[in-house]
Structure 1
Amino acid sequence: MGVTEYILHRSPINSALYRYMTRLGVVMDYVAFIMIISLTGGTKSPLQPISYLILLHASLYWSFTGAMVATYMVLIGYIGVVFVVDGGFMAADLPRHLFNFAFTVMIGVIGGIIVARERKHFVEKGIFENLAKKDYLTGLYNHRSFQEQIRETITQRKHFTLVMCDIDYFKKINDRYGHQVGDAVLIAIGHLLETVIPEDQGRAFRYGGEEFTIILFTPDRQPAIALLQRFIAELKKLEFGSDDDKFGVSMSFGATVRKKDQKSEELVAAADMLLYAAKEQGRDRVVWG
């Protein structure tokens, strides 16, 4: 169990090794348990309660069904130890065996129910937290998440790149084609931002309306410029509207690298001024500061 927990602790939660060990770990614990009680007095072993930990372990990683399977296997193993080590069921030991059987089943059922219920609550909590942090339309993280992320990034990094951007003439798109088409534009741009910007290099947010922000985890302009150029190139390929009235969109960008000791409000204000400058210069461009 200790080996299993160590490997799980050291492995990324989404890795294949993590998923593999959550399944194999319970089996390893079960085999170790049978060997231990066989060597320490059979069913009279003081280590018999380890079986309850195995059931809880199975409940945690295998859910309720797994806990029931584990309970069945523990009982089978217990019976095997009775015959191989204890020499069979003796009349004097029947009350103890019945108690162990009943308590094992109780731990398996109750443990499975409790863990299954808590897991359901945990999943629901995660869903609600995700809804609170993400924009319902684009799927990007929202303004609130941006404020949290920029504070966290400032704590972790002295220098990084902040980009403020918005869709050029978005109001005209809504006025001419309708809000459904406008929403389709926002959704497409949100998807494109997630596609172009790898998670380990940055994160995009819907700041509000047609405005987006991007935090790039790089203190150098060149990697940031390359990512923005790639995004702009892919953006120019997008088409919206009907077959006989197609149109494309462009975006304006204000980008700046955080200076040492620059606060989040100052950084956002600086990037916002650069975005305004991009619009003043004719839109469809990146202005660096």
Structure 2
Amino acid sequence: MKYYHQTTLDLIIFMSLFVFAVIYMGITEFAIHRSPIDSAFYRYTTRTGVLLDYVAFVAIISLTGGTQSPVYPIAYLVILHASLYWSLAGAMVATLMVILGYIGVVITVDGGFMIEDLPRHFFNFAFLIMVGVIGGIIVARERKHFVEKGIFENLAKKDYLTGLCNHRSFQEEMKETIARRQQFTLVMGDIDYFKRINDQYGHQAGDAVLRSIGTLFDSSIPTEHGSAFRYGGEEFVIILYTQDRHFASDLLNQFREKLRAIEFGTDEDKFHITMSFGAAVRDKEQSATELVATADALLYEAKEQGRDRLVWGSYSLP
């Protein structure tokens, strides 16, 4: 009867842990996929997963036979999980914690260190340390390679001066958006009299203008509504995930107002800038090339009409 009650209690504890783990994983997976990868929430949530792994490991082997549990190899996964976030140092700390947890299970579940079990304990400790050192080094090396690869890929897609994605990224995004059959609006933009700025104030002033525009685009266009790209030179292009002209116009006009308010140059010689825009809602039959040509023609029309305006096809919004 005592054995029956103990088994029932162990089963209840095990099922409670399992249900908690499933709920926790479901909530965190949903949350982190909706959080920026560089946010504090994302960092804390992913890293506390290692602590949950450790607690679950100690609890599970305690409920399934102690140090002779068939699920004991989970310890190696806990160590490798820690090494993903903290490299070799994380692997060694995790190894130490697993060993301490192992010792706790030996004392509380196995009934202490028996002489006949010492060789098994010794080899378990040795394998844990080996996995911590070798696994930590391998994972750290692969992690470094992965980070460097990400940096190079990011450099290949970003414009170094404005911080916006470049022309290549724009072409890829256009293809993907069309392939998804997502409704969108394409906007071509150009800095008014940019050559005059370079000639009168110097190329450093021109670079400052480009950087400011990149920063302003980044802060003015929410990611869920679209993306801005540097098309080349003083030209920019925006993909807005909407066909609502009024919404897109409000967004772009807010950007134009903020841009007009920025002062460039020195205290003695300040200047302001404006931009012209041509916007085209994609027709279902239009190819990427045709849509770009349409938006570019509308941008040219905006400049012909006097610059500092947004032109939508058959009518303009000054």
Q: TM-score, normalised by structure 2?
A: 0.85
Question: Which is worse superposed, 277-286 or 149-158?
Answer: 149-158
Question: Which is worse superposed, 217-226 or 24-33?
Answer: 24-33
Aligned to 1:76: 100
Aligned to 1:9: 29
Identity %: 69
Q: Which runs of 4+ in 1 moved over 6 A?
A: none
**CA deviation map 1:2-44 (0-9, x unaligned):** 6365444333253665434433332232233223323333222
- Alpha-carbon shift at residue 253 of structure 1 (Å): 1.1
- Alpha-carbon shift at residue 89 of structure 1 (Å): 2.1
Question: Which is worse superposed, 51-60 or 226-235?
Answer: 51-60
CA contact (8 A) 1:254 1:278 kept: yes
1:34 and 2:34 are equivalent in the alignment: no
CA contact (8 A) 1:167 1:210 kept: yes
1:151 and 2:171 are equivalent in the alignment: no
* Closer, same or farther: CA 18–223 of 1 in aligned 2, 3 Å: same
Amino acid across the alignment from 1:138 = T
1:189 and 2:213 are equivalent in the alignment: yes
CA contact (8 A) 2:197 2:206 kept: yes
* Closer, same or farther: CA 69–211 of 1 in aligned 2, 3 Å: same
SS at match of 1:65: helix
Q: Distance in 2 between matches of 1:39 and 1:234?
A: 63
Q: Distance in 1 between matches of 2:138 and 2:26?
A: 24
CA contact (8 A) 2:192 2:273 kept: yes
Q: Which residue, out of 276, 293, 296, partners 1:269? A: 293
**Alignment size in residue pairs:** 289
**CA deviation map 1:84-124 (0-9, x unaligned):** 23232222222111111100111122222222222211111
In the TM superposition, 1:1-289 aligns within 5 A as 3=22, 5-13=25-33, 14=36, 18-289=42-313
RMSD of aligned residue pairs (Cα, Å): 1.9
SS at match of 2:224: coil
- Alpha-carbon shift at residue 62 of structure 1 (Å): 4.3
Q: TM-score, normalised by structure 1?
A: 0.93
SS at match of 2:261: coil
Amino acid across the alignment from 1:31 = V
Amino acid across the alignment from 2:212 = A
Q: Distance in 2 between matches of 1:31 and 1:283?
A: 64
Question: Which is worse superposed, 11-20 or 61-70?
Answer: 11-20
* Closer, same or farther: CA 280–39 of 1 in aligned 2, 3 Å: closer
CA contact (8 A) 1:158 1:259 kept: no
Q: Distance in 1 between matches of 2:239 and 2:63?
A: 59
Q: Distance in 2 between matches of 1:22 and 1:158?
A: 32
* Closer, same or farther: CA 171–18 of 1 in aligned 2, 3 Å: closer
SS at match of 1:236: helix
* Closer, same or farther: CA 19–187 of 1 in aligned 2, 3 Å: closer
Question: Which is worse superposed, 64-73 or 180-189?
Answer: 64-73
* Closer, same or farther: CA 187–66 of 1 in aligned 2, 3 Å: same
Amino acid across the alignment from 1:259 = D
Amino acid across the alignment from 2:32 = P
CA contact (8 A) 2:302 2:310 kept: yes
Q: What residue ranges of structure 1 are gaps of 5+ in the alignment?
A: none
SS at match of 2:32: coil
